[in-house]
Amino acid sequence: MDFPEKNFFKRASGKISFGIFFFLFYTFLFYHSAWLSDDSFITFRVVDNFLNGFGLRWNPLERVQVYTHPLWLFLLIPLQAAVREISISAYLLSFVCGISFLSVWILTFVRSSNAVRWIVFSLLILFSSKIFIDYNSSGLENPLSFLLFLLFFVQLNLIQEDPDHPNSNLRILTIGFLTSLILLTRLDLVLLLIYPLSILFFKTFQGSKIRFLQYFSIGMLLWVLYLGFSLVYFGSFFPNTFYAKTNVISDPIDRMIAGWNYIRISLKWDPIGIFILTSHLFWFFLGTFGKRILKLEWSPSDSKKQALQIGIGSIVPVFVYLFWIGGDFMAGRFIGVCLVISLFSQMRFWIFFSEVNLVQTRYVWRIFFGIVCVYFLISPSSPIRYAFQRQPVRVEKGIVDERASYQDNVSLKSWIQGNGPESHPWSQYAIGIVLEKHSRSVLSHIQNSQSLPIVSEVRVTTNVGLAGYYGGAFIHWIDLLGITDPFLARLPGKGFPGHYIRLLPKGYKEFLEETASVLPSPEMDRFYYEIRMLTEGEIGSRERWKIILDFLIFGKGNFKTRFETGFRYAYVIDEYRKTLYGIPFENWKKEDVEAALIREYFGN
């Protein structure tokens, strides 16, 4: 005879074992897949400088917000202060976010009847996704984004199911707070929030909009406070990358072709992503039109159909945005959250589907589960392959398989095997510069993050992450892509998405080296002076705040709006020719290269 207590403990122990299995399986995948991108070391240098007393700066002399993920940065700082090894700090934070994500995912659905099979199915899909697994590490904010959006949509569903719940005001405040955290994680994630927040405001709380705005605004205060801090400290609401990637010269048609290639190649390299998105469209069609067109005898509730609708409404703006701006160079990075939202929306529908007691339910699950199992085990794109073989480095149309590019010496597995990020050629380049000028004892200070003297060398580069971190505070880097350079970010850039190179103004490097006191062009010298006031001037000075207002309101901080059409400045052509962009001009005469660059950058 089975007693209720016995059955309860059997069910509980089974669910606990189920959860432990997936946590261990995720840990196995994380060990074999974890890596750090070059871009992540841009943030790591800010963390290092902050802990060494230089403030939230990349080049120690300049207040520049080079990071795009404030919340990720602020979580890394105390962790690095305790661990004192940036690679482990980043891996640990990513792993904690990943385990937290799995915990919330399982706990959200496990109480539903017949949910376990769909939880197994959904987690297998995620573990089969190259995009999801690759960007559950990377040193960037993606794992935190996955977790926060999962929490956001869990809270959103609670509100929609019972908008008049006694704790409704607290739930609205929580939604506002999670929105604040998401925007602090990465500002352009707002695209994923537009549709669900519009549904809450215009539909769910149609009769109590003022109450919704009141509590939602309270939850948003943290983000508002950070915007205020950013304006005061950095002189801008936006990170420096915003200016580096918007002050560019690009043909709209070429840009949209690049955007299409980014989406196409990202999903081609991760076919399970195509499965997730097409499945979403299929279930949305079935739930919306199945009873009317296919004459099915069942129909999901409005809340289940709305879950699919909100999922689609959330991710469509992201794909439109990626298509319009030309995408990026890191395959899949900006699609990962879309896959999480899509799968979460479908989970609610699948569980409803299994509760309808249709004969087809079990067969549908078996077919889909079998397909995903086969894919996970034998597909060349499956992350399980990371455990058994080195992945080929792929580059197509300027889109890069970033994890594969860094797997040999900037991965968790290589670090454990004694081959750390400092062995990467870009790191060695920076370390070599330091050794030219200083002793090996000083280099050990850099690697042990001890207090350092500031800047004794100025160098020009386009690879600022690893080189910037391992060069320490000795080197002031001029970033021709403008990502970390406040002056070059506001000059016109040209190239492919994520890598828009600038022409180095004559006299700029000499000014930083203190071998020149002005730039040759009076107009450019004044422009650079105002940039210096933003980044180096006294925070509360009247002149600095006048410049801030001129930049914000009158567009004086933008090259295109500041100068008349046809204005051009003298530049150092040799620095351009040293980069990858200079390779096509390798056999050209100098005057021909100059003429070509003038046409491309200044239009005359």
C-alpha to C-alpha distances, 9 to 2, 3, 112, 266, nearest whole angstrom: 11, 10, 18, 45
- Between CA 497 and CA 14 the distance in angstroms is 48
- Cβ-contact 131, 336 below 8 angstroms: yes
Q: What is the pLDDT of residue 443?
A: 52
Query: If the chain, 604 residues long, is cut into consecutive pieces of 10 residues, what is the mean pLDDT of each piece?
Result: 48 69 94 96 97 94 95 98 96 97 93 80 95 96 98 94 89 97 97 96 90 96 97 96 91 93 96 94 76 57 77 96 93 96 90 64 79 92 92 92 94 93 94 78 51 69 94 92 96 89 95 91 95 95 96 91 91 92 88 92 84
Which helix (H) or strand (E) is 476 found in, with range? strand 475-479
Tokens 């350092």: give the residue. 452
Q: What is the pLDDT of residue 282?
A: 86
| Residue 1, C-beta contacts closer than 8 angstroms, at least 6 positions apart | none
Q: Which residues pair with 138 in a beta bridge?
A: 36
- Between CA 21 and CA 14 the distance in angstroms is 11
- Between CA 2 and CA 473 the distance in angstroms is 69
| 184 torsion bin: left (phi>0), alpha (psi -120 to 50), beta (else) | alpha
Cα Rg of the chain, angstroms: 26
Q: What is the pLDDT of residue 8?
A: 46
- Cβ-contact 600, 584 below 8 angstroms: no
Distance of CA 464 to the CA centre of its chain: 17
Long-range CB contacts (within 8 A, 24+) of 505-509: 505/569, 505/570, 505/571, 505/572, 506/569, 506/570, 506/571, 506/572, 508/478, 509/458, 509/460, 509/478, 509/572
* pLDDT tens profile 403-412: 999 999 999 9
- Between CA 585 and CA 179 the distance in angstroms is 47
* pLDDT tens profile 54-83: 999 999 999 999 999 999 999 999 999 999
Q: What is the pLDDT of residue 444?
A: 54
Q: Which residues pair with 494 in a beta bridge?
A: 501
* pLDDT tens profile 335-382: 999 999 999 999 988 877 766 655 566 777 788 889 999 999 999 999
Q: Which residues pair with 477 in a beta bridge?
A: 459
- Cβ-contact 273, 337 below 8 angstroms: no
Q: What is the pLDDT of residue 340?
A: 97
- Between CA 394 and CA 405 the distance in angstroms is 8
- Between CA 147 and CA 113 the distance in angstroms is 24
- Between CA 184 and CA 175 the distance in angstroms is 14
448 CB-contact burial (10 Å; exposed 0-12 / middle 13-18 / buried 19+): exposed
DSSP letters of 544-579? HHHHHHHHHHH-TTSHHHHS-TT----B-HHHHHTS
Total-model pTM: 0.93
- Between CA 591 and CA 349 the distance in angstroms is 64
- Cβ-contact 32, 386 below 8 angstroms: yes
Q: What is the pLDDT of residue 287?
A: 66
154 CB-contact burial (10 Å; exposed 0-12 / middle 13-18 / buried 19+): middle
- Between CA 8 and CA 265 the distance in angstroms is 48
CA torsion sign, 201 to 202 to 204 to 210?
positive
